[in-house]
């Protein structure tokens, strides 16, 4: 596989090819002052201590100390590339968004990621893959920040930080904790659908070229007549699905921790551009009141038979970033970035994400993160936000118009962009999100799709993931699997019992005799 090949790098020039010193551009300090010597620091005598006035040295060391920014709290490890979305279908009856009109071609950038691992984590890990897309449309940026799964682990955002804590390191052991994961999941049966996908073949893709993407949430589309429709976005890989088993992935990680980075980068360098068919499922606004499931529940899909996916185009990734840090690490997505003709929905998880991402970026990158080149819209940006750290872009062209309303021809609102009113009713209260929600039916529909081999791998992946989880927690989780399907519960139980027989201390990923031996005295 690709992981064994060396990643191509730009070839350095040979001695003969190198231009003479005088033909090369002048190196400078960051203030533009020419640098005379970048090899030797300024010292008192050849062996002597250094002089404080060696500003070049000080600037260089000071910059190095500031090279890292906080990694993303989740989805820290990622891979990305630039591309283009082309719309070939016609959904103009449902949306006025320019980016979705027939024939539209929109520049974009994608970042894929794992969720739990830190910035240096290995790529070939069993985890959900982030699938975040930023489209630079004529009406500002549209960000669709999805995953490679159509559903999620929780349906109420109040549970999201707790869920993430179970995926990250235990505060005392500093290790990932299977007990925490299964304790939380077994007490949160709304997670069953996503857990089943995570533990299935699709939970460990060989590369992000071989995954689907899903906007996951329900969003809305608004047409020129001001009518609202509910929508789900899907992106189907044209490369086909490809997965690794746990054992195969262990071998891959032993050879390279960067298998996805290598695969995506190399494919694009070779002109083998990955593509995804872009689809929508559309639901008339009033259907939301009669579907047997809550269409705004992020733990549910809309069955294809009820709302068939409609092909509307393709996106292709065709350019690697020149500077990973500037273009991928500083890339900042937010579900709050939407364009006229595309809107939100009452999905509680989406509502929380509308707040959370921009807040995370202000902390991670800074107040004016949207003005960095990779985040900046390719259409006009005109607002009245003032000052702040790193305010490096100009004010509105009319310097007197620094507040609103004003009499100096500053930018103004336009009511044509108002969304149609959304009827909402109900008493403000903390409603139990479990009431009236079936957590078992859709996982059952998925389980019934799996063939015998897929089921066996699902059982074994779950048993392996149980690790050292105490029996009473495993039993609680087995109860949920059995409620999904008796064969699901029985299959996992058999695999768990086998794992306990053959690998009695599964909490430690390497068996005792394979761990680093103590140094002999």
Residues tagged in the binding site annotation for heme: 357
At closest approach, how far in Å is the CB of 415 from ligand HEM? 31
Residue 360 touching ligand HEM (CB under 6 A): yes
Integer angstrom CA distances of residue 62 from 50, 57, 59, 180, 478: 16, 8, 5, 41, 55
Which residues define the annotated binding site? 357
Which of 236, 241, 364, 476 contacts ligand HEM by CB under 6 A? 364
* The two three-digit tokens of residue 136, written as one number: 């630079």
Which of 121, 242, 352, 494 contacts ligand HEM by CB under 6 A? 352
At closest approach, how far in Å is the CB of 363 from ligand HEM? 8
At closest approach, how far in Å is the CB of 35 from ligand NDP? 55
Report the partner that residue 158 touches, choosing among ligand HEM, ligand NDP, none (CB closer than 5 to 8 A by kind).
Answer: none
Considering only CA atoms, which of 186, 109, 112 is closest in space to residue 149?
112
Report the partner that residue 201 touches, choosing among ligand NDP, ligand HEM, none (CB closer than 5 to 8 A by kind).
Answer: ligand NDP
At closest approach, how far in Å is the CB of 326 from ligand HEM? 14
Considering only CA atoms, which of 414, 108, 412, 129 is closest in space to residue 263?
129
Nearer to ligand HEM among residue 364 and residue 493 (C-beta): 364
Nearer to ligand NDP among residue 311 and residue 468 (C-beta): 311
Pairing of strands 342-343, 310-319: unpaired
At closest approach, how far in Å is the CB of 364 from ligand NDP? 31
The active-site residue out of 75, 82, 210, 480 is: 75
Which of 145, 268, 312, 465 contacts ligand HEM by CB under 6 A? 145
Binding residues vs ligand NDP (CB under 6 A): 150, 193, 197, 200-202, 212, 234, 301-305, 442, 445-446, 449
Residue 94 touching ligand HEM (CB under 6 A): no
Residue 216 touching ligand HEM (CB under 6 A): yes
Report the partner that residue 209 touches, choosing among ligand NDP, ligand HEM, none (CB closer than 5 to 8 A by kind).
Answer: none
Report the partner that residue 378 touches, choosing among ligand NDP, ligand HEM, none (CB closer than 5 to 8 A by kind).
Answer: none
At closest approach, how far in Å is the CB of 160 from ligand HEM? 4
Is 505 one of the annotated active-site residues of the chain?
A: no
The active-site residue out of 82, 141, 147, 148 is: 147
Report the partner that residue 375 touches, choosing among ligand NDP, ligand HEM, none (CB closer than 5 to 8 A by kind).
Answer: none
Contacts of 323 (CB under 8 A, 6+ apart): none
Nearer to ligand HEM among residue 134 and residue 275 (C-beta): 134
| Interacting positions 391-450 with ligand HEM (CB under 6 A) | none
Report the partner that residue 303 touches, choosing among ligand HEM, ligand NDP, none (CB closer than 5 to 8 A by kind).
Answer: ligand NDP
| Interacting positions 114-143 with ligand HEM (CB under 6 A) | 130, 132
- Which residue reads 């970026």 in tokens? 361
d(Cα 330, Cα 59) in Å, to the nearest integer?
Answer: 22
d(Cα 486, Cα 480) in Å, to the nearest integer?
Answer: 10
**SS3 category, 412:** coil
Residue 72 touching ligand HEM (CB under 6 A): yes
Provide the b/e sequence for 81-99 (b: ≥16 CB within 10 Å): bbbbbbbeeebeebbbbbb
d(Cα 140, Cα 133) in Å, to the nearest integer?
Answer: 14
Cis ω for the linkage preceding 405 (within 30 of 0) = yes
- Which residue reads 């761990």 in tokens? 515
Nearer to ligand NDP among residue 109 and residue 197 (C-beta): 197
Is 241 one of the annotated active-site residues of the chain?
A: no
Q: How far is residue 466 CA from its own chain's centroid?
A: 25
Considering only CA atoms, which of 370, 335, 273, 315 is closest in space to residue 107?
315
Nearer to ligand NDP among residue 197 and residue 282 (C-beta): 197
Provide the b/e sequence for 238-256 (b: ≥16 CB within 10 Å): ebeeebbebeebeebbeeb
User: Is 8:271 a contact under the CB 8 Å cutoff?
Assistant: no
Size of the site for ligand HEM (CB under 6 A): 28
Residue 146 touching ligand HEM (CB under 6 A): yes
User: Is 131:213 a contact under the CB 8 Å cutoff?
Assistant: yes
Residue 191 touching ligand HEM (CB under 6 A): no
At closest approach, how far in Å is the CB of 73 from ligand NDP? 27
User: Is 42:54 a contact under the CB 8 Å cutoff?
Assistant: yes
| Phi and psi angles of residue 266, each rounded to the nearest 5 degrees, phi first | -65, -40
Mask: binding to ligand HEM, 302-331, rule CB under 6 A, as x and -? -----------------------------x
Q: Is 5 exposed, middle or buried (0-12, 13-18, 19+ CB in 10 A)?
A: exposed
d(Cα 377, Cα 138) in Å, to the nearest integer?
Answer: 8
Integer angstrom CA distances of residue 179 from 154, 171, 173, 495: 18, 13, 12, 18
Considering only CA atoms, which of 412, 425, 407, 426 is closest in space to residue 384?
412
At closest approach, how far in Å is the CB of 470 from ligand NDP? 29
Active-site residue numbers?
Answer: 75, 147
- Which residues sit at the interface with ligand HEM, rule CB under 6 A? 72-75, 78, 111, 113, 130, 132, 145-147, 152, 157, 160, 216, 298, 331-333, 349, 352-353, 356-357, 360-361, 364
């Amino acid at each position: 596989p690709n992981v064994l090949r060396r990643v191509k790098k730009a070839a350095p020039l040979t001695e003969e090819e190198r231009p003479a010193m005088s033909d090369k551009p002048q190196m400078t300090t960051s203030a533009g002052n020419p640098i005379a010597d970048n090899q030797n620091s300024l010292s008192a005598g050849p062996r002597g201590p250094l002089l404080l006035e060696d500003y070049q040295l000080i600037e260089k060391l000071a910059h190095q100390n500031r090279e890292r920014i906080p990694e993303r709290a989740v989805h820290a490890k990622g891979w990305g590339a630039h591309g283009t979305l082309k719309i070939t279908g016609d959904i103009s009856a449902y949306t006025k968004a320019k980016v979705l009109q027939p024939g539209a071609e929109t520049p974009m950038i994608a970042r894929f990621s794992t969720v739990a691992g830190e910035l240096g984590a290995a790529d070939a890990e069993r985890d959900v893959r982030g699938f975040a897309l930023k489209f630079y449309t004529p009406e500002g940026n549209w960000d669709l920040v999805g995953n490679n799964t159509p559903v999620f682990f929780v349906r109420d955002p109040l549970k999201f930080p707790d869920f993430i804590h179970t995926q990250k390191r235990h505060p005392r052991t500093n290790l990932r904790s299977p007990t925490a994961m299964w304790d939380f999941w077994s007490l949160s049966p709304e997670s069953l659908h996503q857990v089943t996908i995570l533990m299935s073949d699709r939970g460990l893709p060989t590369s992000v070229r071989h995954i689907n993407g899903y906007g996951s949430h329900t969003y809305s589309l608004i047409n020129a007549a001001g009518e609202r429709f509910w929508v789900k976005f899907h992106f189907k890989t044209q490369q086909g699905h490809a997965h690794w088993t746990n054992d195969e992935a262990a071998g891959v990680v032993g050879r390279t921790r960067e298998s996805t980075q290598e695969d995506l980068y190399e494919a694009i360098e070779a002109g083998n551009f990955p593509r995804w068919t872009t689809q929508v499922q559309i639901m008339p606004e009033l259907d939301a009141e009669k579907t047997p499931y809550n269409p705004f529940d992020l733990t549910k899909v809309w069955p294809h038979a009820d709302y068939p996916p409609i092909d509307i185009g393709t996106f292709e990734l065709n350019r690697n970033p020149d500077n990973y840090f500037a273009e991928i690490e500083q890339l900042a997505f937010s579900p709050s970035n939407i364009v006229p003709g595309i809107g939100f929905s009452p999905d509680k998880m989406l509502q929380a994400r509308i707040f959370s991402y921009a807040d995370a970026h202000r902390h991670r990158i800074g107040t004016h993160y949207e003005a960095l080149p990779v985040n900046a819209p390719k259409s006009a940006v005109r607002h009245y936000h003032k000052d702040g750290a790193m305010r490096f872009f100009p004010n509105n062209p009319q310097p007197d118009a620094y507040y609103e309303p004003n009499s100096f021809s500053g930018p103004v609102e336009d009511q044509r962009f108002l969304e149609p009113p959304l009827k909402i009713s109900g008493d403000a209260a903390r409603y139990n999100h479990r009431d009236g929600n079936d957590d078992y039916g859709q996982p059952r529909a998925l389980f019934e799709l799996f063939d015998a081999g897929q089921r066996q791998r699902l059982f074994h992946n779950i048993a392996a993931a149980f690790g050292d989880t105490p029996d009473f927690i495993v039993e609680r989780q087995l109860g949920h699997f059995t409620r999904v399907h008796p064969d699901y519960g029985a299959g996992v139980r058999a695999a768990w019992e086998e794992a306990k027989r053959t690998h009695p201390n599964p909490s430690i990923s390497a068996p005792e005799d394979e761990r680093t031996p103590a140094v002999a005295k």
